[in-house]
Amino acid sequence: MPSQPSVVVLDYGFGNVRSAVRALERVGAQVELTADHDAAMEADGLVVPGVGAFAACMAGLRAVRGDQVVDRRLAGGRPVLGICVGMQVMFAEGVEHGERTAGLGEWPGVVDRLEAPVVPHMGWATVQPPEGSTLFAGLEDERFYFVHSYAARDLPLDVQQDSPLRPPLVTWAEHGERFVAAVENGPLAATQFHPEKSGDAGAQLLRHWVDTLR
């Protein structure tokens, strides 16, 4: 029987952490909920959850040195999964009520308020994953559960044709306008929706991610 990959869900005060822990355990991970720097560095996978305001989440992350952990893990090719605002903070900055807050800067681009008749965007929605997606393999026609008022409109990461780097795989969704629903970019993956609240489809997506840690 394959060993259980170790996953740390980063506990920095902003996230629906208990449901994420349970969902990851159900798909075969050995999960620890902690803000401990060494544990977060050493786990096979790190999950960065997030709910609420971009600026508050960034302050919480920095308070537990989560920004350093994410940066160092990715520099070493070690997997990180961001969920909801945990995805948004991977971008260069967030704009809320006219205030700009620096994000982790793993991707260029800005997270700001959705322009839609009804905000927040709350409920089930289909997504458009790209060809070659690992997370969405077999889930191309499934729906996922979103709760958010802010999103990234694009991921302006330009990879030259002769570069050994693969461009990020971007999954899209729509609510009033098109926005980034998920990204797969080497060791860094993230979803704007909540896989832990997305039933069987969300569980399968988390299983795909956990399987990459084995």
Q: Are 28 and 207 in contact (CB under 8 A)?
A: yes
Phi, psi of 213 (to 5 degrees): -85, -15
- 121, 148, 175, 194: the catalytic one is 194
Nearest to 103 by CA among 156, 63, 58: 58
Q: Which of 57, 84, 93, 148 is catalytic?
A: 84
Residue 131 annotated in active site = no
Q: How far apart are CA 44 and CA 158, in angstroms?
A: 29
- Phi and psi of 170, rounded to 5°? -110, 130
Distance, CA of 86 to CA of 201 (rounded, Å)? 20
Distances (CA, A) of 137 to 130, 171, 190, 205: 10, 12, 15, 8
CA–CA separation, 171 and 173 (whole Å): 7
- The one catalytic residue among 93, 106, 142, 196: 196
Which of 63, 47, 83 is CA-nearest to residue 13?
63
Distance CA(90)–CA(105), nearest Å, equals 6
Quick check: is 196 catalytic?
A: yes
Query: Is 57 a catalytic site residue?
Result: no
The 3-state DSSP class for residue 81 equals strand
Residues with active-site annotation:
84, 194, 196
